[in-house]
A and B are shown apart, each in its own frame.
Chain A
């Protein structure tokens, strides 16, 4: 594995649910090729995928920046310019969701997205301002 940090910038379209997950799929494929352990690959893939789904459902799409370091792990920054999260503590509770029934019919909106992201990442912070947007930073360590 090369020692250089790889930086990826990925666009998440906000108007096409069928394409949600493409960015996470791209990153997962790259991590596998780079030789990261299956556990690290899966943790990154699931945490990022849940975040990507949230960006499409709630945030109107956005940008994801991924930094892959063979020494320290994988950092992800997911940025949207959606409505923001009024109460982050509440949003972190399992089962809490503001998603409409139309989203639940698609298999999401069970209130597990943010808890899953916290579960599978080793570090996570949410920065959100109502009316401005949300940034979620996550990191998955190598060990």
Chain B
């Protein structure tokens, strides 16, 4: 799946990262706790979160994630978007809540990528 497809499935507004729209996304993670996200390293992931601070971008940066989706119609400060832009990470906002957003992506074939989930 590409970042562009993620945007389409979630009917999301792109806040930055047009250059990354064709990047491949292989796994996904949904959490508001960044340490939980950091516990599960996966390549080319998308992060779904309702947390809006700069540490979301830092977490995505450390894990080489390609895309951040802010759920529940939330949008972060411009400084957070700028930080993501500087790191080449696509950022988008969707009106869907976390459960629904994760479900829509899962339904289209995007998995968590964790052996413990039986995937």
A interface residues, Cβ below 8 angstroms from B = 17-18, 20-21, 24-25, 28, 38, 42, 45-46, 49-50, 53, 104, 106-113, 115-116, 119-120
Contacts and interface: CB of A to CB of B under 8 A. Distances in A.
A28 B55 contact: no
Contacts of A24: 58, 62
Given A49-B38, A107-B33, A113-B35, A17 B62 contact: no
B41 A21 contact: no
A42 B63 contact: yes
Given A18-B54, A106-B53, A107-B56, A50 B38 contact: yes
B61 interface: yes
Interface of B: 32-36, 38-39, 41, 49, 51, 53-56, 58-59, 61-64, 79
A49 B62 contact: yes
Contacts of A38: 64
B56 A116 contact: no
11 contacts: A20-B58, A21-B55, A25-B62, A45-B61, A53-B55, A106-B53, A107-B55, A110-B36, A111-B35, A116-B38, A119-B39
Secondary structure call for the A interface:
helix
A45 B58 CA distance: 10
8 closest residue pairs by CB, A with B = A112-B35, A21-B58, A107-B34, A45-B62, A110-B33, A107-B51, A110-B35, A49-B62
A112 B36 contact: yes
Given A46-B41, A119-B39, A108 B62 contact: no
A113 B35 CA distance: 6
Contacts of B35: 50, 107-113, 116
Nearest to A52: B58
Contact of B55 (A46, A108, A115, A120): A108
B111 to A, nearest CB: 20
A43 B35 CA distance: 14
B37 to A, nearest CB: 9
Contacts of B64: 38, 42
